[in-house]
Amino acid sequence: MYVLGIETSCDETAASVVGPDGVISDVIHTQEVHVEYGGVVPELAGRAHAEQVVATVRAALDRAGIDKPDGVAATAGPGLMGAVLVGLCFGKAAAAGWGVPFIGVNHLEGHLLSALLEDPAPTFPFLALVVSGGHTTLYLARALGEYEVLGQTVDDAAGEAYDKVARMMGLGYPGGPFVDKLAQSGNPAAIPFPRTAIQAGSRTRGSKRVRTDLDMSFSGLKTAVRTHLERADGWSGPDVAASFQEAVTDVLCDRVMKAARRHGIDQIALAGGVAANSRLRERVAALPLQAFIPPRRRCTDNGSMIANVGRLRLATGQRDPLDMGARANWTPGT
């Protein structure tokens, strides 16, 4: 079975064909239009997806050497609604035109199952740490469609912290790759930035969810970096980048190890844009667990992670209706 996956939830227009043996084609078009604004502009993202989606899908099919897939999967949320709608509507229309089944995919489920595309792949149950620009969540993946949130950020996402720190330091956008590169010549122990612990049982204001000690917080760390940058006696870019990166990585690895011990799980899959980070990859690979870390290009947004969820759900006989709408807030597995 050949499944076409379409991803348009943020600033990547991406399409991929996944077959029985894995990824066959994987086309990613990153929108350049946002760079001058230092962040994604939703209206411009939707417009650019509309201009790019046909050529991207065409290229994915051509590179796979097929005219028509056996199923179509498209991101249905969460994400920027104007952006999600482009890929979702196009995917539904294409599935209807080809007369093949359609699956609307949760973007976060795409990330959290992306390690299943690789060889070797984890087997259920496994832990999945999804660290992206909008989310930082540690899941216990029990089976396809059964995910328990063990911990999540109570404020900024890790990728958001990378982007904000990069902006404070006058680096480019998106900030993660710039901080990653600069950190390579810095000392990770130079500045003792905070590793915020979360008190179990407390609540985020306005939320019903009770916090656990597997939750994370990155906003205090971001403020500590700002305070450091405002010092009168100057600062070293490489040391700030390396020390900040070490603090983020320490917090993420601490939560993974706590969860692994508590739930007796020894497999961890890493996913999301921040999973492309060199230090995080190195540190997770060195944990006393079996680590599944996809290649960098399949950590940031891509079409193959969407096609992957499509093929898994289609294989169990699932289908989504062609009147399926976009979902702005959507917890995987619900």
Restricting to residues 292-331, name those near ligand KG4 by CB under 6 A: 300-301
Residue 2 interface partner, choices ligand KG4, Zn ion, none, CB cut-off 5-8 Å depending on type: none
Say how far apart CA 213 and CA 260 lie, in whole Å: 13
Torsions phi, psi of 73, nearest 5? -125, 140
Point out which span in 56-64, 128-136, 140-148, 309-317 binds ligand KG4 (CB under 6 A): 128-136
Instruction: State the residues that interact with Zn ion by CB under 5 A.
Output: 132, 301
> Does 153 engage in binding with ligand KG4 (CB under 6 A)?
no
Restricting to residues 161-190, name those near ligand KG4 by CB under 6 A: 162-163, 174-177, 180
**CB 279, min distance to ligand KG4, A:** 8
CB proximity list for 40: less than 8 A, separation 6 or greater: 10, 11, 34, 80
Q: Helices 81-98 and 42-64: crossing angle, nearest 10°?
A: 30
Neighbours of 116 (CB within 10 A): 24
**CB 178, min distance to Zn ion, A:** 19
Q: Which residues of 145-180 are buried (b: 16+ CB within 10 A; e: fewer)?
A: bebebbbbbbbbbbbbbbbbbbbebebebbbbbbbb
**CB 100, min distance to Zn ion, A:** 25
Site string for ligand KG4, 71-110 (x = CB under 6 A): ----------------------------------------
Point out which span in 97-105, 158-166, 234-242, 253-261 binds ligand KG4 (CB under 6 A): 158-166
Q: Which is nearer to Zn ion, 132 or 217 (CB)?
A: 132
Neighbours of 297 (CB within 10 A): 12
Given 276, 284, 293, 306, the residue binding ligand KG4 (CB under 6 A): 276
DSSP calls for 249-286: HHHHHHHHHHHHHHHT--EEEEESGGGG-HHHHHHHHT
> Does 241 engage in binding with ligand KG4 (CB under 6 A)?
no
CB proximity list for 96: less than 8 A, separation 6 or greater: 102, 322
Take residue 253 and report the two structure tokens written for it: 């690895």
Restricting to residues 6-25, name those near ligand KG4 by CB under 6 A: 10
Residue 274 interface partner, choices Zn ion, ligand KG4, none, CB cut-off 5-8 Å depending on type: ligand KG4
CA angle (143 as vertex; 24, 334 as ends), nearest 5: 95
Residue 101 interface partner, choices Zn ion, ligand KG4, none, CB cut-off 5-8 Å depending on type: none
Q: How far is CA 179 from CA 1, 78, 139, 141, 243, in A?
A: 40, 26, 26, 30, 10
Interface with ligand KG4: number of residues (CB under 6 A)? 19
Residue 188 interface partner, choices ligand KG4, Zn ion, none, CB cut-off 5-8 Å depending on type: none
For ligand KG4, the binding residues (CB under 6 A) are 10, 132-134, 159, 162-163, 174-177, 180, 272-274, 276-277, 300-301
